[in-house]
């Protein structure tokens, strides 16, 4: 059990928590799927750091070893002056794992910074080819690509955009391809995948000469909690992007490196994006590093054909982080953790349906691999969401946490401001017994919350 308020007692001056998530417990150490507070109380992190970051588990000493070895050699050099074997090895590894057309890598320090990079790269690619007006990045409502201004402009999470709307680019959005809340009230397959063709419509509407890229998470995370588009969706998106000379940016920050049971989320559709943005799982939470993996024709334009990409960050190409990523990727590959994510994912989804579907508030359970969302509704028949003031997902999170389980409460799937979900994204090393235990706690927490809110 945790939540003992050490931080509150110590009058924490750390800013950063927002909304209803206000941590008050000091995290002392981590091991496997568990985090421990100062008193030694353990919490099973069923989220691996909210959105699945700590994919190989906490406290892996092989990573510590890699950090120490690299630090003894060199821990920093300026990216404009030096290359390094670890850097080359990581770029080679990432381009080998990614869809075959992606042949170049840039490194940054966060998912948001990678999204910014992709947005600028897409625009400068068009600029160099004599299409300087192509600048808009079309995103999806309820999509999320980062907190920096460009990334947030491309995102459609209303509750994260609202307070800085005035300083965002007002780029167009299409509806999320979430059958459970179809924006057109249609049913699959007779809908003819209206949600994908919406991209064609909006590009025609605003004029393809102004549109640079379309960005999407292959399987939704923060605001759509495990939304898996139908099989035809991304092939149509690819066709529409090609038709309009619009780049497809695939945001794999959550889905990349096995989270959904394949190396990349987009692999479930066998579609080749032009740019992949990836972060979280590739470093497993050990040290920051993110990447942009780039189509050969785009990379060549800047690396071989004389164009200059005016962009870069101080901590890009950090050799310690590269050593960390290589070790994490080694562990994922050698221990078959992508396959394990697929296998355990099936178990997780099956057991969640068995244990939780009977709840009056559980409207939908969705996702793939070890990424699962549980949407909580006030009325199962009508899918009516709770009043956001009830903070139903937060209530479940708080009770589960007291019982030793961390689940990630998110909101906003309905019109950006309503709709509650729990996100589950454990480390790949979790066991079936631990999955059962955690689901049991969620079951209890739901029962308790339902007494108050229904």
Ligand X SMILES: Cc1ncc(COP(=O)(O)O)c(C=O)c1O
Q: What is the C-alpha separation between 444 and 337, in angstroms, rounded?
A: 30
145 lies in the binding site for ligand X (CB under 6 A)? yes
Q: Which range, of 107-115, 171-179, 342-350, 371-379, touches ligand X by CB under 6 A?
A: 107-115
Site size toward ligand X (CB under 6 A) is 15
- Which residue, 188, 240, 182, is CA-closest to 216? 240
Pairing between strand 408-414 and 418-424?
Answer: antiparallel
Query: Helices 432-453 and 392-402, interaxial angle, to 10°?
Result: 130
The correct pick among 253, 271, 352, 427 for binding ligand X (CB under 6 A) is 253
CB of 385 to ligand X, least distance (A): 21
**167/389 with CB nearer ligand X:** 167
Q: What is the C-alpha separation between 115 and 290, in angstroms, rounded?
A: 10
Give the list of residues 6+ apart from residue 244 with CB closer than 8 angstroms, or none. 200, 203, 208, 211
**324/441 with CB nearer ligand X:** 324
222 lies in the binding site for ligand X (CB under 6 A)? yes
Write down how long the chain is: 454
Q: Name the H helices within 213-364.
A: 233-243, 296-303, 319-334, 337-356
**228/279 with CB nearer ligand X:** 279
The correct pick among 37, 200, 217, 274 for binding ligand X (CB under 6 A) is 217
What SS3 state is found at 27? strand
254 lies in the binding site for ligand X (CB under 6 A)? yes
**57/111 with CB nearer ligand X:** 111
Per-residue exposure over 156-189, b if at least 16 CB sit within 10 Å of its own CB, e if not: bbbebeeeeeeebeebbbbbbbbbebbeeeeeee
CB of 161 to ligand X, least distance (A): 14
Q: Which token pair is 313?
A: 């960050």
- Furthest C-alpha separation in the chain: 66
**279/328 with CB nearer ligand X:** 279
Q: Which range, of 216-224, 258-266, 304-312, 353-361, touches ligand X by CB under 6 A?
A: 216-224
CB of 75 to ligand X, least distance (A): 21
Return the residue matching tokens 């292959």: 218
The correct pick among 35, 44, 48, 51 for binding ligand X (CB under 6 A) is 51
**252/420 with CB nearer ligand X:** 252
What SS3 state is found at 278? strand
Q: Which token pair is 49?
A: 């750091």
**3/288 with CB nearer ligand X:** 288
The correct pick among 60, 251, 420, 434 for binding ligand X (CB under 6 A) is 251
Q: What is the C-alpha separation between 277 and 154, in angstroms, rounded?
A: 13
CB of 355 to ligand X, least distance (A): 27
Q: Which token pair is 211?
A: 């549109």
Return the residue matching tokens 């695939």: 250
Task: Tell me how far CA of residue 247 lies from CA of 120, 130, 243, 273, 403, in angstroms.
Answer: 12, 15, 10, 8, 46
Residues 273-292 that bind ligand X (CB under 6 A): 279
Q: Which range, of 109-117, 172-180, 338-346, 391-399, touches ligand X by CB under 6 A?
A: 109-117
221 lies in the binding site for ligand X (CB under 6 A)? yes
Q: Which range, of 164-172, 251-259, 268-276, 361-369, touches ligand X by CB under 6 A?
A: 251-259
146 lies in the binding site for ligand X (CB under 6 A)? yes
Query: Which residue's Cβ has the minimum distance to ligand X?
Result: 111
CB of 296 to ligand X, least distance (A): 24
CB of 51 to ligand X, least distance (A): 5
- Which residue, 260, 252, 178, is CA-closest to 215? 252
CB 226 within 8 A of CB 423: yes
373 lies in the binding site for ligand X (CB under 6 A)? no
Residues 110-129 that bind ligand X (CB under 6 A): 110-112, 115
* CB atoms closer than 10 angstroms to residue 412: 25
**211/254 with CB nearer ligand X:** 254
371 lies in the binding site for ligand X (CB under 6 A)? no
CB of 257 to ligand X, least distance (A): 13
**267/361 with CB nearer ligand X:** 267
CB of 243 to ligand X, least distance (A): 26
Continuous segment of H or E residues that includes residue 323: helix 319-334
Please tell me whether the peptide bond between 408 and the residue prior to it is cis, using omega within 30 degrees of 0. Answer: no
Q: Which token pair is 200?
A: 């064609």
Give the list of residues 6+ apart from residue 210 with CB closer than 8 angstroms, or none. 133, 134, 135, 136
**43/290 with CB nearer ligand X:** 290
**107/144 with CB nearer ligand X:** 144
Q: Which range, of 79-87, 144-152, 237-245, 396-404, touches ligand X by CB under 6 A?
A: 144-152
User: Which residues bind to ligand X, rule: CB under 6 A?
Assistant: 51, 110-112, 115, 144-146, 217, 221-222, 251, 253-254, 279
């Amino acid at each position: 059990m945790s939540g003992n308020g050490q931080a509150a007692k110590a009058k924490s001056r750390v800013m950063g928590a927002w909304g209803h998530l206000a941590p008050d417990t000091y995290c002392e150490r981590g091991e496997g799927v568990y985090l421990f507070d100062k008193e030694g109380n353990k919490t099973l992190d069923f989220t691996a750091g909210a959105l699945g970051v700590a994919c190989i588990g906490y406290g892996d000493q092989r990573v510590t070893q890699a950090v120490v070895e690299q630090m003894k050699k060199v821990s920093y050099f300026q990216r404009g002056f030096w290359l390094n074997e670890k850097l080359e090895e990581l770029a080679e590894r990432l381009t080998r794992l990614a869809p075959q057309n992606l042949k170049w890598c840039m490194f940054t320090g966060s998912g948001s910074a990678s999204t910014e990079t992709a947005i600028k790269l897409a625009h400068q690619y068009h600029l160099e080819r004599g299409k300087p007006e192509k600048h808009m990045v079309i995103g999806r409502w309820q999509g999320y690509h980062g907190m920096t201004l460009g990334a947030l402009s491309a995102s459609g999470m209303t509750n994260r955009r609202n307070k800085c709307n005035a300083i965002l680019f007002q780029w167009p959005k299409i509806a999320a391809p979430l059958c459970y809340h179809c924006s057109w009230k249609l049913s699959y397959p007779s809908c003819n995948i209206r949600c994908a063709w919406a991209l064609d419509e909006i590009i025609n509407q605003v004029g393809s000469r102004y549109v640079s890229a379309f960005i999407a998470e292959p399987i939704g995370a923060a605001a759509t909690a495990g939304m898996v588009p139908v099989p035809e969706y991304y092939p149509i998106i690819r066709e529409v992007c090609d038709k309009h000379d619009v780049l497809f940016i695939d945001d794999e920050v959550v889905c990349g490196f096995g989270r959904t049971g394949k190396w990349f989320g987009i692999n479930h559709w066998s579609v080749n994006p032009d740019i992949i943005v990836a972060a979280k799982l590739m470093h497993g939470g050990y040290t920051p590093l993110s990447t942009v993996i780039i189509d050969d024709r785009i990379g060549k334009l800047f690396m071989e054909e004389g164009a200059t990409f005016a962009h870069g960050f101080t901590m890009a190409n950090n050799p310690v982080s590269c050593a960390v990523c290589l070790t994490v990727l080694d562990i994922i590959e050698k221990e078959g953790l992508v396959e394990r994510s697929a296998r355990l994912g099936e178990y997780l989804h099956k057991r969640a349906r068995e244990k939780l579907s009977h709840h009056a508030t559980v409207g939908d359970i969705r996702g793939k691999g070890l990424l699962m969302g549980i949407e909580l509704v006030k009325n199962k028949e009508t899918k009516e969401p709770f009043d956001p003031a009830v903070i139903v997902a937060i209530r479940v999170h708080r009770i589960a946490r007291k019982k030793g389980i961390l689940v990630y409460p998110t909101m906003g799937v309905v019109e950006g401001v309503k709709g509650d979900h729990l996100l589950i994204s454990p480390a790949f090393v979790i066991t079936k017994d631990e999955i059962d235990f955690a689901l049991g706690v969620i079951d209890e927490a739901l029962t308790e919350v339902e007494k108050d809110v229904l």
